[in-house]
A and B are shown apart, each in its own frame.
Chain A
Amino acid sequence: MAATAETRTPFIKITPIGAYAAFFLFFIYAPVLLLPLFSFNDSQYVALPLKGFTTRWYVEMAAAEQLQAALFNSLKVASVVSIISTILAMLAALALTRYRVPGRAIISGTIVLPLVIPGIILGVSILVVMVQVMGVEPSLWSVGAGHLLLCTPFGMLILISRLEGFDRSLEEASLDLGENRFVTFFRVTLPLAMPGVIASVLTSFTLSFDEFILAFFLAGADPTLPVYIWSQLRFPLRLPQVLALGSIILVVSFAVIAFAEWYRRRGVQPSAKPG
């Protein structure tokens, strides 16, 4: 990413396609920016005209127990899911990139299958096994199980591209110098794959944290945050508080992405392909 241009070009040149880019950014941002706007609006109802500035929704949010319980449920599920799914994804990615397993196309195809099945069908099928076959009541565990199924393929695809991206001879050197595969993994492969591991954890966390449809079917008495938000969208008693929380999440996500990007740039660059 070396800056080669000598003269500073303006950020957007006024061309037809540049104008389209501006429209595009407006189209994707306008709806999202309404949420923070209404989180400061002094009215129970999320509708125009705006009634005046207030921060009371943020204050009330800080005291809202159900909302916080839902937030912590989501954080719990997302944390556990992002770690387990990244471990499962790493094992599968290692097997698929480092070993010649017969039938790998079928196995990897089955692992990524959840990406091409509508979520509602994954949700009802797990629900049927739990309720009708096993007779277990839905809980945060079942939400986690559903999210694990969804997040692992994403992590695996990220890690496969990372593991294929760096020089295999580093691992071979470690093995030749007498380290066993276990040590080689922790001292060579894992550090080199770290940006991919972090990307996988972050992607899984975000997916799980924001996932609604599986959680909607699989959550029992303990709602996750999206399930709670859903209840507030239908019977809007505390909707402005939800908007306040949504705005905070937006800011925090932005900070996390900025940090991840900063880290990625500092981290180990993938080695150039030989030749």
Chain B
Amino acid sequence: MDISGQLNQEQAVGTGARRGGLRAWLTRNDNARGYLLLSPTSIMVVLLLILPIVALIAISFMTQRGFDLDTSLTANNYQTFFNYSEKPIYITLLLRSLQMSLTATVLTIALCYPMAYFLAFHVKKHKVMWLIIITVPFWTSYLLRIFAWKVILGYDGVINSGLISLGLITEPLEFLLYNKLAVTITLAHAWIAFALLPIYVSLEKIDRSLLEAAGDLGDSPFRRFWRVTFPLSLPGTISAALLVFIPTVGDYVTPQLVGGTDGIMIGNIIRTLFGKVNNAPMGAAVSLMTMLTVTLVVCMFLGGTTVARKLLSRV
């Protein structure tokens, strides 16, 4: 590096190049300048992400003894995690969280896709205004939005009061709140904006002449949708699915507010382990297993959609 640096110094032209060592080197060396620009952000990521994850991995192999941490390494926490016959709670909650957030993801996409399609193909004017109108509700506090569903679904809630005043029921329906369905609907509502925008962008980008070509060549609107529009909108739909699925698996607020005991998810047990139970090592193990499972599901999903796209392109 030094030798080539000195060689370059003689070839260097320009005002900054002949001044002092480091600065001259930076002026000439594009890579070094790039890395220098990246270094503050990289240091931040190392300190706040890499180091904490490493610490989380390390502590997950330790043991909590009362208020003290036994630092001798053991895989006991992971054994407890997988010991379904004695401690079924971890596996049960993880699977339930996956199932609930997958359902919420499917529901969110199903709700958003027609709306994104409407925005991309049916709205001709004021598109930005439409987008603003759709995103405004999501500028309210996330917690209050979740809480609003408790007001809608609750015992004295909007739906029950409405049905009673209409005379359709005499007693409030109790199955609306505190279950998996309530969590799923609430999650779907909370994450709509995240799903709508990527789907809309990918639909908006589709070259309209492709659609005309498909129509001219005799495809019915339905076939045209499945063979042209849908495959081309898949990238946005896939990123929408990931944007909803990943954060909702670890969601803590929604199950706590509208889930009841039936709707508790893995995030709630992580919180309990770090809080009341005061077993950070076990909490770390559960967190890591959750992260690993989410990553696995995402990889499987991405692999699956790649295959699906190949199949679709052959239809």
Contact = CB atoms under 8 A, between A and B. Distances in A.
A212 B144 CA distance: 11
A128 B31 contact: no
Contacts of A88: 40-41, 44
A130 to B, nearest CB: 9
Contacts of B93: none
A9 B125 contact: yes
A151 B294 CA distance: 22
B247 A20 contact: no
B141 A226 contact: yes
A13 B249 CA distance: 38
A253 to B, nearest CB: 4
Interface string A89-121: 101101110111110000100110110111111
B148 A31 contact: yes
A17 B122 contact: yes
Interface string B76-88: 0000000000000
A88 B37 CA distance: 9
Contacts of B270: 120-121, 124
Interface string A228-271: 01100100000000110010011001100110010000000000
> Chain A, interface size: which category?
35 or more
A146 B115 contact: no
B151 A149 contact: no
Nearest to B294: A118
B96 interface: no
A73 to B, nearest CB: 15
A125 interface: yes
Contacts of B147: 46, 233
Contacts of A242: 144
B41 A89 contact: yes
> Chain B, interface size: which category?
35 or more
Interface centre among A102, A113, A124, by most chain B C-beta atoms within 10 angstroms, is A124
B135 interface: yes
B114 A20 contact: yes
Interface string A10-40: 0101010110110011011111101100100
A94 to B, nearest CB: 5
Nearest to B127: A1
Top 6 A-B pairs, shortest CB-CB distance: A118-B250, A99-B34, A125-B52, A47-B156, A253-B139, A95-B37
Interface of B: 15-16, 30-31, 33-35, 37-38, 40-42, 44-45, 48-53, 55-56, 59, 69, 111, 114-115, 117-118, 122, 124-128, 132-145, 147-149, 151-152, 154-158, 160-161, 189, 192, 242, 246-247, 249-253, 257, 267, 270-271, 274, 280, 283-284, 287-288, 290-291, 294, 298
13 contacts: A20-B118, A24-B111, A31-B145, A34-B148, A35-B140, A48-B158, A92-B38, A92-B41, A113-B45, A120-B250, A149-B45, A229-B143, A243-B144
Interface of A: 1, 3, 5, 9, 11, 13, 15, 17-18, 20-21, 24-25, 27-32, 34-35, 38, 45-49, 87-89, 91-92, 94-96, 98-102, 107, 110-111, 113-114, 116-122, 124-129, 131-133, 145-146, 148-149, 152, 156, 178, 180, 206, 210, 212-213, 216-217, 225-226, 229-230, 233, 242-243, 246, 249-250, 253-254, 257-258, 261
